[in-house]
């Protein structure tokens, strides 16, 4: 059997494309990606030729971080520097949105940064492990970095910058950032939140090979506040609703 005819199981195929197994199942179920079914359990097997053909059919998505400066986030091609505003209206939506954004994005050469309140962080990491059996290895390898919001916007910007410089110095070429703004809004004013978002976009978002998701609980903020937040996240609009509504 030649290399192009090798059959990969779903875990190997996910590593090959640097995506989650959930995405592979969705793509095969919809017919976007060819696979073979083997054995009594009808398990999926993939030919490398089919995986390569799938990659070539989507030139903006050669891998999780490609020469065009894009990464694949839950099956959606998102360019580096994108600064997204994620909206949710339930606690379950918050956890699901963050875990879905991070899943499959912390393989060798990639890093995920997560900032949220401690209880939420634990629930997000648990959901990440449930969605992606390899996530525990990523966490143990330090490819998932967690933190809590600082008490000032300057301190928080410094935290992001330090962690991102560390990640890129270590060779990371694909970085996903998730921050739940609720934790920050509890220690600074709303005006400071907006100033922080604008400063993050200017100082951080476009300097590194990353995509950022800032989460907002629509139960805690007024409609005017949410509109203000959306104005500072103009990268949302090409990606609604796949990534940013929960």
Top-confidence residue, 225 or 13: 225
- Give yes or no for residue 225 having a pLDDT over 90: yes
Contact 175/167 with Cβ under 8 angstroms? Answer: yes
Question: Is 127 in the same domain as 230?
Answer: yes
Residue 244 is assigned to a structural domain of this protein:
no
Question: Is 147 in the same domain as 34?
Answer: no
Q: What is the mean pLDDT of residues 84-112?
A: 91
Q: What is the mean pLDDT of residues 102-120?
A: 90
Residue 61 is assigned to a structural domain of this protein:
no
Residue 241 is assigned to a structural domain of this protein:
no
Q: What is the CATH number of the domain that holds 12?
A: 1.10.10
Instruction: Give residue 1's pLDDT.
Output: 43
Instruction: Give residue 67's pLDDT.
Output: 42
Q: What is the mean pLDDT of residues 219-235?
A: 92
> What's the domain range around 128?
70-236
Average pLDDT for the chain: 85
Residue 243 is assigned to a structural domain of this protein:
no
Task: Enumerate the β-bridge partners of residue 72.
Answer: 77
Residue 115 is assigned to a structural domain of this protein:
yes
Question: Is 77 in the same domain as 49?
Answer: no
Q: What is the pTM of this model?
A: 0.72
Question: Is 47 in the same domain as 124?
Answer: no
- How many structural domains comprise the chain? 2
Instruction: Give residue 124's pLDDT.
Output: 96
Instruction: Give residue 239's pLDDT.
Output: 64
Instruction: Give residue 63's pLDDT.
Output: 38
Q: What is the CATH number of the domain that holds 120?
A: 3.40.50.300
Q: What is the mean pLDDT of residues 217-241?
A: 86
Q: Cα-atom radius of gyration of the chain, to the nearest Å? A: 18
What stretch of H or E contains 47?
strand 43-47
Question: Is 90 in the same domain as 189?
Answer: yes
Q: What is the mean pLDDT of residues 99-119?
A: 90
| Helices marked H in the chain | 10-17, 21-30, 48-56, 91-102, 118-131, 135-140, 153-169, 181-185, 190-200, 223-231
Question: Is 220 in the same domain as 139?
Answer: yes
- Give yes or no for residue 240 having a pLDDT over 70: no
Can you spell out the DSSP letters for 109-123? Answer: TEEEEEE--HHHHHH
Q: How far apart are CA 51 and CA 61, in angstroms?
A: 12
- Give yes or no for residue 4 having a pLDDT over 70: no
pLDDT tens-digit readout, 163-174: 999 999 888 989
- Give yes or no for residue 117 having a pLDDT over 50: yes
How far lies 225's CA from each of 130, 189, 190, 220, in Å? 33, 12, 8, 10
């Amino acid at each position: 059997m030649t290399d192009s005819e090798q059959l990969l199981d779903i875990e190997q195929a996910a590593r090959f494309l640097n995506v989650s197994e959930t995405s592979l199942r969705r793509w095969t179920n919809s017919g976007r990606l060819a696979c073979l079914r083997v054995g009594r359990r009808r398990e999926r097997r993939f030919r490398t030729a089919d995986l390569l053909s799938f990659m070539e059919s989507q030139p903006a998505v050669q891998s999780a971080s490609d020469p065009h400066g894009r990464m694949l986030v839950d099956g959606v091609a998102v360019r580096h520097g994108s600064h997204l505003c994620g909206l949710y209206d339930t606690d379950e939506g918050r956890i699901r949105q963050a875990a879905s954004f991070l899943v499959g994005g912390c393989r060798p050469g990639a890093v995920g940064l997560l900032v949220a309140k401690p209880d939420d962080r634990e629930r997000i990491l648990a959901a990440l492990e449930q969605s992606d059996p390899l996530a525990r290895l990523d966490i143990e390898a330090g490819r998932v970095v967690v933190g809590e919001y600082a008490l000032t916007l300057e301190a928080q910007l410094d935290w992001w910058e330090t962690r991102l410089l560390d990640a890129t110095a270590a060779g990371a070429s694909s970085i996903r950032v998730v921050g739940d703004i609720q934790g920050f809004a509890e220690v600074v004013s709303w005006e400071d939140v907006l100033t922080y978002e604008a400063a993050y976009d200017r100082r951080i978002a476009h300097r590194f090979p990353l995509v950022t998701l800032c989460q907002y609980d629509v139960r805690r903020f007024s409609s005017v506040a949410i509109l203000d937040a959306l104005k500072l996240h103009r990268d949302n609009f090409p990606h609604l609703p796949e990534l940013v509504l929960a």
